C-alpha cells in the first residue's frame, strides 16, 4: 500500500504528533504545579491524549513555503499561537480599521 519511504515518513510524523501530545500533558502538569489552577487541563488533557493515541493525521508539520511577493511560514495549525501582522490602512475600510484598533487595545491589556 505504501512504499518504504512513505512508511518511514508516516512513522516519523506520528512520532512527532505523539511527542506534541506528551508536551501538552507536560504543560498541564507544570501549569498546575506552578499556579495551582487546573482550568487548562479541561481542554489540554483530552487533546494531549488524543494526539498520543489517534491513528489520524491531526497536525501539520511542514517546512517554509515561499511565494513570489510575500514570505509565508506554514507551521502546525494546532500549537502555534495567533500571529498579529501589520495591515496597510490605505486599502482598508474605516470600520475595519477601527475594529483592528479595538482588538489591538484588548491584546495589549492582556
Q: What is the structure's pLDDT at 66?
A: 45
What integer pLDDT is reported at residue 91 of this predicted model? Answer: 60
DSSP letter (8 states) at residue 71: E
Closest CA to 44 of 58, 60, 59, 23: 23
Nearest CA-CA partner of 49 in 77, 29, 21: 21
Per-residue pLDDT, 1: 64
> In order along the chain (110 residues), what is the average pLDDT of each group of 10 residues?
82 91 93 87 92 87 52 47 51 72 76
**0.75 surpassed by pTM:** no
Torsions phi, psi for 50 (to 5 deg): -65, -45
CB distance 38 to 32 below 8 Å: yes
Residue 92 DSSP SS3 = coil
Cα separation, 38 vs 20, in Å, equals: 20
Question: Which residues have C-beta within 8 Å of that of residue 2, sequence separation ≥ 6?
Answer: 10
Amino acid at each position: 500500500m505504501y512504499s518504504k519511504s512513505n512508511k518511514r515518513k508516516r512513522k516519523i510524523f506520528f512520532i512527532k504528533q505523539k511527542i506534541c501530545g506528551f508536551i501538552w500533558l507536560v504543560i498541564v502538569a507544570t501549569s498546575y504545579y506552578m499556579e495551582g489552577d487546573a482550568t487548562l487541563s479541561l481542554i489540554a488533557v483530552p487533546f494531549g491524549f488524543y494526539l498520543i493515541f489517534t491513528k489520524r493525521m491531526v497536525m501539520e508539520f511542514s517546512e517554509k513555503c515561499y511565494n513570489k511577493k510575500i514570505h509565508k511560514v506554514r507551521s502546525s495549525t494546532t500549537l502555534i499561537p495567533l500571529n498579529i501582522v501589520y495591515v496597510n490602512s490605505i486599502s482598508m475600510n474605516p470600520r475595519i480599521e477601527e475594529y483592528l484598533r479595538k482588538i489591538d487595545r484588548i491584546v495589549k491589556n492582556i
